Amino acid sequence: MTIFYKNQFARKGIWSALGFTVLLSACGGNDNNSTPEPVTPTPPTPVTYTYEVSVTNLTHAQPLSPVAVVLHNEGALFELGASATVALENLAESGDNSQVLAQDMVLAGASGAGVIMPGMSETVSVSLVDTKPMLLSAATMLVNTNDAFSGINAMSLENMAVGESISLRTSSYDSGTEKNSETMATIPGPAAGGEGFNAERDDVGFIGMHAGVITSDDGLMQSVLIQAHRFDNPTLAISVTRVE
């Protein structure tokens, strides 16, 4: 009988130890209920779209005003047969591109550094971050005229890959806002040094292809221009390259 009771006590000791072990295991499970550390997502790398626009003056004696280059996803710089905007009128009459660059449709814009003389070139870089541009426009004034300009109007960039280039030549347009009188008082370029922008519109009232200047050599006695100032199309050679 004595051995029986000892075994009973031994068995009770074993079960007590097992119970204590189970209790410890249950307590250790609380670690599974802890809140995981938040994971901070990595911000996406900004995408930059950069285009280089190289403009070459093909005329004999027509300096070009600082070129305006703009990226946009809607609208157009001008429309043949339509009235010129005040922004375009300013550029075509005085060479001032500030209003073209400030138009509501412009997503990004850049100005050339200065006048492009005949036979010379300038490259303008324009960039846009995180918004893919669909269209590119550019404009410059032929400054020894009343209101002649040239450039690119809403050229598509949609399928242009990095490293790809597009080359083109452009014609000259008449903004239709100022008569082509060719007088000293109305031409702002070095041939005359006259007035630039004038809010009064006294011409046909719509944008068209420019017929060219007449000059005093051709019999227009009031003209301050000479035969060297005449120009034929194309006026500009332009190369557009996507570099980023």
**What domains can you pick out in the chain, each with its CATH number?**
48-242 (2.60.40.2130)
What is the pLDDT confidence band of residue 216, given thresholds at 50, 70 and 90?
Answer: very high
Q: How confident is the model at residue 180 (pLDDT cuts 50, 70, 90)?
A: very high
pLDDT for residue 9 is more than 80 = no
What is residue 33's predicted lDDT score, i.e. its pLDDT?
65
- What length is written for the chain? 244
pLDDT at 38: 84
Mean pLDDT of 32-43: 78
pLDDT for 164: 98
Strands ordered across the beta sheet of 208-209: 106-111, 68-72, 135-141, 148-156, 172-174, 208-209
Look up residue 147 and give its DSSP letter.
S
> Does 3 score more than 50 pLDDT?
no
pLDDT band at 18 (very low <50, low <70, confident <90, very high): very low
Peptide bond into 43 cis (omega under 30): no
Q: Token pair of 232, please?
A: 């034929």
**Residue 150 in this model has a pLDDT that exceeds 60:** yes
Measure Cα distances from 222 to 77, 157, 174, 192 in Å: 32, 44, 20, 12
**122 pLDDT higher than 80:** yes
Residues with Cβ within 8 Å of residue 108, at least 6 apart in sequence: 70, 71, 126, 127, 128, 133
Give me 44's structure tokens: 């996406």
Strands 48-57, 68-72: pairing kind? unpaired
Looking at residues 117-138, what average pLDDT do you find? 97
Mean pLDDT, all residues of the chain: 89
What pLDDT score was predicted for residue 128? 97
